[in-house]
Chain A
Amino acid sequence: MADNRRHAAVLGLTFLLLLLLPQLATALSKPDLLTLGSQIAIYAIAAASLDLLIGYAGMSSFGHAGFFGLGGYVVGILAFHAADNSLFLGIVPGLTDAWLVWPIAIAVTALAALAIGALSLRTSGVSFIMMTLAFAEMLYFLFVSLKTYGGDDGLGFRRRNALPWIAPRDDVAFYYVCLAVLAIFLIAMRHLVQSRFGMVLQGLRQNERRMAAIGVAPYRVRLAAFTIASAGAGLAGALNANLLRYVSPDSLHWTMSGDLMVMVVLGGAGSLYGAVLGAAAFVGLQSVLAQWTEHWMIAMGPILVCTVLVARRGIWGLLAGRR
């Protein structure tokens, strides 16, 4: 009971802080805080979706950035064709409305994940990690080679996707959109991990043989989880492209997958909400350390090691206690 109240307190305070971030940024006259805040909300979505795999299903995907970047490219490519009135593959017209583009980004990512997962999940353990990594690298090189869409340099576009009632240049409004999407996403994920499906998933993490012996087909359940989690990454990627008005192959590089894993572990794997804290810690540290040295990852490493040693359940475990 006391634990539950502590959970609610930590969660409530975190969201209160995020809600008031724009006012804080104005008060401190640090407008950069707003961009950092949007970045945190977006990474938190991606990290929470990865936590479904790592923390709940026990599937260590090392290709999550592949789906994050793919979602971003859907936004970028549709904006590109909308800008010059051309057709994607000669059939699909460009689009800029968020209510169309974002669901398309989710659907495209989910389909890619279904195909990639169907093959990767024939393996397990280290082979599964390598398979997901390899597929993400293939996506990376695919986008590097697409010169029409900027190749190595990436693809910029002028306007964010249009949302009803929201001015495209309003950064504060866009921040609140990201925060709202994060909140909805976390609520949906909370329901998911407590549902029948979520219980089966956690059972598979603990003991696959036992689960098969009570009648579960592990492959189908894992494929569904992989698809859902990857679609979450695609949604985050679509938001990220909107934040930056730019996508590049960097967003699906394996180092990005590594960053997302770091966020999950920092926040506390298997805690879902920890993803928000992990993303905040990561983005915060990165921006502080980057002022100090461009090799900020050198300092990030020891900090990560210390966090894991001090708090095995990550920052969420430290603040909110067990489970």
Chain B
Amino acid sequence: MTALLQVRGLTKRFGGLLASGGLDLDVHQGEIHALIGPNGAGKTTAIGQLAGEIRPDAGTIRFDGQEIGHLPVHRRVALGLTRSFQVTSILPAFTALENLMLVHLVREGHPFRFLRSARQDLGLQRQARDSLAGLGLLARADIPAEDLAHGEQRQLELAMALATGAKLLLLDEPMAGLGPTESLAMTEILRRLKRQLTILLVEHDMDAVFALADRVTVLVSGQVIASGPPDAIRADPAVREAYLGAEAG
């Protein structure tokens, strides 16, 4: 079976620093594939290249049977690939509802409608409410996004990524800054998503990773040092030494 996302030889240098040292990665349809590694290993840089924000120096990226390495961010979104950010990225001055209305209107493909009011558009409002309801944010619909709690903002960002209709989500540390209860809630949300779509999950919270992941790839200094099922990764001596050792104790 060919993978939904197939990465070969992905290479990125920042000056003398090799942030991606020829990465190979296969993400299969319907799985949650975790990408873990210590700080500075190159996880965010890898996500940036897959999403189309950072231009790789070399390598190929195939998504859904098509080479996408040359496409700009918005074209990749149209194909069904989008990301979330390590530092929460939402539209702070818009309400939660407006944040999602914007996603749906872009998805409908009419960003160039100049005269009809968008805010009064009942169809857009309904779709946006459905999206918010999906993540339990409906009660917060009319709150400006900047006034939401941090955990709610992370959920809002996830709701936005989902509303694009993505087949593959690239999630960059969705639990970052969340308390233990919120982390558990987020883990539960991701587990529910598993049936509908495919996720490449960058995450430091090892409880979440091992609760969710079907496969784990370990990145250290821009190199893949191991890739396989969670149990095998947990048992891998090289991984324990390089990374898990410190945290797993």
A175 to B37, alpha carbons, bound, how many Å? Answer: 69
A210 / chain B contacts, CB cutoff of 8 Å: 85, 89-91, 160
Residue-wise, chain A 242-276 has the 8 Å CB interface mask toward B (1 for contact) of: 00000000000000000000000000000000000
Given A194-B119, A200-B106, answer yes or no on A221-B90 (Cβ-Cβ < 8 Å).
no
The answer to whether A195 touches B116, judged by C-beta atoms less than 8 angstroms apart, is: yes
The answer to whether A195 touches B106, judged by C-beta atoms less than 8 angstroms apart, is: no
B160 / chain A contacts, CB cutoff of 8 Å: 210, 214
Residue-wise, chain A 208-221 has the 8 Å CB interface mask toward B (1 for contact) of: 01111111110001
Near A by CB (< 8 A), chain B positions 97-124 give 98, 101-103, 105-107, 110-119, 121
Given A206-B94, A209-B85, A213-B82, answer yes or no on A200-B114 (Cβ-Cβ < 8 Å).
no
Shortest Cβ distance from B239 into chain A, in angstroms? 31
Stretch of B15-23, B55-63, B71-79, B220-228 with 4 or more beta carbons under 8 angstroms from chain A: B71-79
B114 / chain A contacts, CB cutoff of 8 Å: 191-192, 195, 197-198
Q: Could you tell me how many residues of chain A have their Cβ less than 8 Å away from some Cβ of chain B?
A: 24
Residue of A nearest to B101 (CB): A199
Q: Is B213 an interface residue (CB 8 A)?
A: no
A116 / chain B contacts, CB cutoff of 8 Å: none
The answer to whether A196 touches B116, judged by C-beta atoms less than 8 angstroms apart, is: yes
Q: Is B51 an interface residue (CB 8 A)?
A: yes
A217 / chain B contacts, CB cutoff of 8 Å: 72, 74
A198 / chain B contacts, CB cutoff of 8 Å: 114, 118
B92 / chain A contacts, CB cutoff of 8 Å: 206-207
Residue-wise, chain A 93-107 has the 8 Å CB interface mask toward B (1 for contact) of: 000000000000000
Instruction: Please classify the interface of chain A as helix (H, G, I), strand (E, B), loop, or mixed, using the class held by over half of its residues.
Output: helix
A163 to B105, alpha carbons, bound, how many Å? Answer: 41
Residue of A nearest to B103 (CB): A214
The answer to whether B117 touches A215, judged by C-beta atoms less than 8 angstroms apart, is: no
Shortest Cβ distance from B121 into chain A, in angstroms? 8
A234 to B78, alpha carbons, bound, how many Å? Answer: 36
Q: Is A203 an interface residue (CB 8 A)?
A: yes
Shortest Cβ distance from B249 into chain A, in angstroms? 36
A271 to B102, alpha carbons, bound, how many Å? Answer: 21
Which residues on B are within 8 Å of A, measured CB to CB? 51, 53, 72-74, 77-78, 82-85, 89-94, 98, 101-103, 105-107, 110-119, 121, 160-161, 163-164
